[in-house]
A and B are shown apart, each in its own frame.
Chain A
Amino acid sequence: MNTLVLTVLTLGVLGILLAVILYFVAQKFHVEEDPRIDEVEKMLPGANCGGCGFAGCRAMSEALVTRDNIASLFCPVAGGETMKSIAGYLGKVAPDKEPMVATMRCGGSCDKRPKVNHYDGALNCAVVNTFYVGESACAFGCIGYGDCVSACKFGALHINPETGLVEVDADKCTACGACVKACPKGLFELRKKWPKNRAIYVACRSKNRGAVVMKACKAGCIGCGKCEKVCPFGAISIENNLAYIDHKKCKLCRKCVNECPTGAIKIVNMEPLPKEPKVAPTAKSESKAEETK
Chain B
Amino acid sequence: MANRIFASPSPHIHGGESTRRIMCDVVLALLPALAVSTYILGLRVLLITAVAVASCVVFEYLINRFFLKRSSTIGDLSAVVTGVLLAFNLPVGIPWWIVVIGALVSIGIGKMTFGGLGCNPFNPALTGRIFLLIAYPVQMTDWTTGVPDALSGSTLLADVKYNTSLLSEVDFLQMFGGHMNGSMGEIGALALILGGLYLLWRKVITWHIPVTILGTMAIFAACVGATKGGALVWELPLFHILAGGALLGAIYMATDYSTSPMTHKGMIIYGVGIGLITMIIRLWGAYPEGMSFAIFIMNAATPLINKYCRPKRLGTK
Contacts and interface: CB of A to CB of B under 8 A. Distances in A.
User: Quick check: do A and B touch in the complex, using CB within 8 A?
Assistant: yes
Interface stretch (B5-13, B75-83, B195-203, B214-222): B5-13
Interface string B1-35: 10011111100000000000000000000000000
Which 7 pairs, one residue from A and one from B, show the smallest C-beta to C-beta distance? Answer: A121-B8, A120-B8, A117-B5, A118-B4, A117-B7, A121-B9, A131-B9
Given A117-B5, A119-B7, A131-B9, 10 more contacts: A116-B1, A116-B5, A117-B6, A117-B7, A118-B6, A120-B7, A120-B8, A121-B7, A122-B9, A127-B9
B2 to A, nearest CB: 13
Interface string A119-153: 11110000100111001000000000000000000
B9 A130 contact: yes
B196 to A, nearest CB: 36
Contacts of B5: 116-118
Interface residues of A, number: 12
Nearest to B7: A117
A127 B9 CA distance: 8
Nearest to B12: A120
A135 B6 CA distance: 9
16 contacts: A116-B5, A117-B5, A117-B7, A118-B5, A119-B6, A120-B6, A120-B7, A120-B8, A121-B7, A121-B9, A122-B9, A127-B9, A130-B9, A131-B9, A132-B7, A135-B7
A127 B10 CA distance: 11
Interface string A94-125: 00000000000000000000001111111000
Nearest to A117: B5
B78 to A, nearest CB: 23
Nearest to A134: B7
Contacts of B1: 116
A261 B161 CA distance: 91
A251 to B, nearest CB: 44
B9 A118 contact: no
Majority secondary structure, A binding face: loop
Count class of interface residues, chain B:
under 10
Interface in B80-109: none
Majority secondary structure, B binding face: loop
A186 B6 CA distance: 25
A135 B5 CA distance: 10
B234 to A, nearest CB: 52
Interface of A: 116-122, 127, 130-132, 135
A202 B220 CA distance: 76
Nearest to A127: B9
Contacts of B6: 117-120
A139 B266 CA distance: 46
B41 to A, nearest CB: 49
Interface string B223-267: 000000000000000000000000000000000000000000000
Contacts of A118: 4-7
Interface in B145-191: none
A119 B4 contact: no
Contacts of B4: 117-118
Contacts of B7: 117-121, 132, 135
Contacts of A121: 7-9
B211 to A, nearest CB: 37
Interface centre among B5, B6, B7, by most chain A C-beta atoms within 10 angstroms, is B7
A119 B9 CA distance: 9
Nearest to A119: B7
Contacts of A131: 9
A117 B1 CA distance: 10
A228 B1 CA distance: 38
Nearest to A120: B8
A127 B4 CA distance: 21
B81 to A, nearest CB: 28
B310 to A, nearest CB: 25
Nearest to A114: B1
Nearest to A115: B4
Nearest to B8: A121
Contacts of B9: 121-122, 127, 130-131
Contacts of A130: 9
A135 B4 CA distance: 11
B12 to A, nearest CB: 9
Contacts of A127: 9
A58 to B, nearest CB: 28
A265 B1 CA distance: 31
A121 B8 CA distance: 5
Contacts of A119: 6-8
B251 to A, nearest CB: 35
A275 B9 CA distance: 47
A121 B11 CA distance: 10
A151 B236 CA distance: 60
Contacts of A120: 6-8
